[in-house]
Amino acid sequence: MRLIHWSYVALLFLLIWTGAGWRDSGIPAGAAVVQASQSPAESAVPLPNKDGSLKFCVLGDFGTGDPSQYQLAEQMARLHERFKYDLVVLVGDNLYGAERPQDFQKKFEIPYKPLLDAGVKFYASLGNHDAREQRFYKLFTMGGKLYYTFSPKPNIRFFAFESTYPEPEQIRWLEKELAASNDDWKIVFFHHPLYSSGERHGSDLRLREVLEPLFLKYNVSVVLNGHDHFYERVKPQKGIVYFVAGSGGQLRVGNIDRGSGITAKGFDTDLVFMAAEITGDQMYFNAISRVGQTVDSGVLTRRKSTPDPHR
Amino acid sequence: MAENLLELEEMRSSEDQTRFVGSRIGVVSLVAAAVLALSACASGDKQPPTPPATSASPSSAPATERVVGPLTPADAQALATMNDRLKQYVDVHRKIERSLPKLPADATPQQIDKNQRALEKLLRQARVTAKPGDIFTPEARPVIKRLLANVFGGPDGKQLKASIMDESQAAPSAAKLTVNARYPDIVPLTTIPPQVLQTLPKLTEDLEYRFIGNALILLDVHAHIIADFIEAALPK
């Protein structure tokens, strides 16, 4: 018994000394590079705003119908006046509570009316609070499907995944679509984050176990999630950049675990949406708060596939 | 600016540290393995076999499956009664659904609502005598409660329960649940943690599990009605 006790003490010492057990031990080739280049306190600046680039926003956990959701929506409309983004990616929890026709209006159509009127398209994924019938809703552009893919520009492809009920069939579909895509940019979006410093939810380890190998194998550069009600840019994990944008209407103040060790930038004191622009191999991003403050910004370079040495 | 530069610097130093740590790991890994082996030998306990790695085969990884268990033969038999009823329900549901106009892929909220309420009405007519226990059978109920107690009694139980109750403060604990009733509009749909899904019997895509207060409900997704429920299913 004493021998067992001292064995575990010795092992614990070794684990602490090496850091094994909680530290990521390698960054593979083809890793995305992130440069955070702008001050976090500047007012919203329209990114490079180049002709021909893909401009889009990311919004999650938003459909409350509360005044704060409307205020953030106003900031999105204000940005669109100077930065003509084409689409908004929705990372789930699109409608909280009732989903009657009047709720679609109050929680979505009215706050984002200026954007809808301007022809901005919204592409939804579903969160744990969303009824599956939302997939039929025209303005969510899901085409009646729980998971789907679309390519808004050549060489850029988004993959929407349904993470509440990740059935084997869907995993097979995702692998098939990722494998078939020759696009330079592969961006996957869904509700539950694989990496998050949220004290309430945090990283979904079971989902990570299934999805991360696919993302690595098929060269996904960026993953967009919600669920935890704050903004977080996660340090590149095995070369992939993960964003949590779950404070589009809901907010959990002070919920980022500052000791998680994975946060590149976090903001949990106000609502936030993300604006992004892809031009060539770069993706520029801003995280903009309800008062129009840019709370994070930077540019990342896409992952590039490494040649297969066995070919 | 300075803050961001600092972050980048932190990342670089983290990478350096990782390399350094990596070399140390190499040196001590053998020692660690020896310590573990020694512990195992000394204890003499038989460890359960390690589950197969899932990352090698993502398409068949356990996280995407829902596993009912651990079950005794008697429990399995009890849940089989529920599966029979589920199948009967889904057959009725699909038959009625086929009789209605198909919802277009670019529907308006009004169309979604109209379709939902039409299905709701016909299902209610078809199951006019339905009562609690018709799907969650009397045999299956105690088993389900026990399975849930196992999940919520585990080390993550408190956190799991908090995640279910999260954003569901509006859920009135006094809400009167009725089979065939429309899911209450004022109650947000709750999170169902994957641990719960993996424990309970698998459903077709027409149905899903949700909680209202402490009750587990079986929600007809397309009709938005409560097909059945178990009160006090969520352990205190």
Residue-wise pLDDT tens digits, B134-143: 999 999 999 9
CB contact under 8 A, B58 and A128: no
Task: Categorize the per-residue pLDDT at B35 as very low, low, confident or very high, splitting at 50, 70 and 90.
Answer: very low
Classify residue B207: in a domain, yes or no: yes
Each residue's pLDDT tens digit, A209-218: 999 999 999 9
Contacts of A250 (CB under 8 A, 6+ apart): A61, A62, A64, A93, A96, A229, B167
Number of domains composing chain B: 1
**Per-residue pLDDT reduced to its tens digit, A138-154:** 999 999 999 999 999 99
Containing domain of residue B136, as a range? 73-230
Residue of A8, A14, A18, A173 to mutate, testing the B interface (most B Cβ within 10 Å of its Cβ): A18
What pLDDT digit, counting tens, does each position of A220-273 carry? 999 999 999 999 999 999 999 999 999 999 999 999 999 999 999 999 999 999
Q: Does A8 touch chain B (CB under 8 A)?
A: yes
Instruction: Please state whether beta strands A185-189 and A156-160 pair in parallel, antiparallel, or not at all (unpaired).
Output: parallel
Q: Does B100 touch chain A (CB under 8 A)?
A: no
The H-assigned helical ranges of chain A are 2-18, 67-82, 101-104, 113-117, 168-180, 205-217
Check if B36 contacts A (Cβ < 8 Å).
yes
Distance from CA of A56 to the nearest CA of B (A): 22
Alpha carbon of A120: minimum distance to chain B alpha carbons (Å): 16
B197 within domain boundaries: yes
Does the pLDDT value for residue A35 go beyond 50? yes
Q: What percentage of chain B carries pLDDT values higher than 70?
A: 66
- On whether residue B122 sits in a domain, the answer given is yes
Question: Over pLDDT 90: what percentage of chain A?
Answer: 77
CB contact under 8 A, B109 and A132: no
Pairs across A and B, CB distance < 8 A: 171
Q: Which residues of A258-270 are buried (b: 16+ CB within 10 A; e: fewer)?
A: eebebbbbbbbeb
CB contact, 8 Å: B194 with chain A?
A: yes
User: How far apart are alpha carbons B6 and A250 in whole angstroms?
Assistant: 30
Instruction: Give the A window 111-150 contacts with B, CB below 8 Å.
Output: 128-133, 136-138, 142-145
Q: For residues B45 and B135, which has the higher predicted lDDT (pLDDT)?
A: B135
C-alpha A125/C-alpha A133 separation (Å) is 12
B189, B210, B211, B225: best to mutate for the A interface, most A CBs within 10 A: B189
Q: Any long-range contacts for A286-289 (C-beta under 8 Å, 24+ apart)? A: A286/A38, A286/A44, A286/A45, A286/A47, A287/A231, A287/A233, A287/A245, A288/A44, A288/A75, A288/A79, A289/A72, A289/A75
Residue B16 lies in a domain: no
Q: Which CATH number fits domain A38-301: 2.40.10.10, 1.25.10.10, 2.40.30.10, 3.60.21.10?
A: 3.60.21.10
| A209, A238, A241, best to mutate vs chain B, most B CBs in 10 Å | A209
pLDDT tens, A80-109? 999 999 999 999 999 998 899 999 999 999
Largest CA distance in chain B: 72
- Residue A233 in tokens: 């840019």
Contact A23 B21 (CB under 8 A): yes
Query: Which pair of structure tokens corresponds to residue B141?
Result: 């109920």
- Rounded to an integer, what distance in angstroms lies between the CA atom of residue B87 and that of residue B162? 32
Tokens matching residue A264: 């590149």
Delimit the domains of chain A by residue range.
38-301
CA distance B193 to A66: 26
Say how far apart CA A89 and CA A124 lie, in whole Å. Answer: 6
* Integer angstrom CA distances of residue A65 from A69, A103, A248, A276: 6, 8, 11, 25
Which residues, including other chains, have CB under 8 Å from residue B213's CB and lie 6 or more apart? B171, B172, B173, B175, B234
Number of Cβ within 10 Å of residue A248's Cβ equals: 32
Whether B21 has its CB under 8 Å from any CB of chain A: the answer is yes
d(CA B176, CA A188): 41
Q: Is residue B97 part of a domain?
A: yes
- Global pTM exceeds 0.90: no
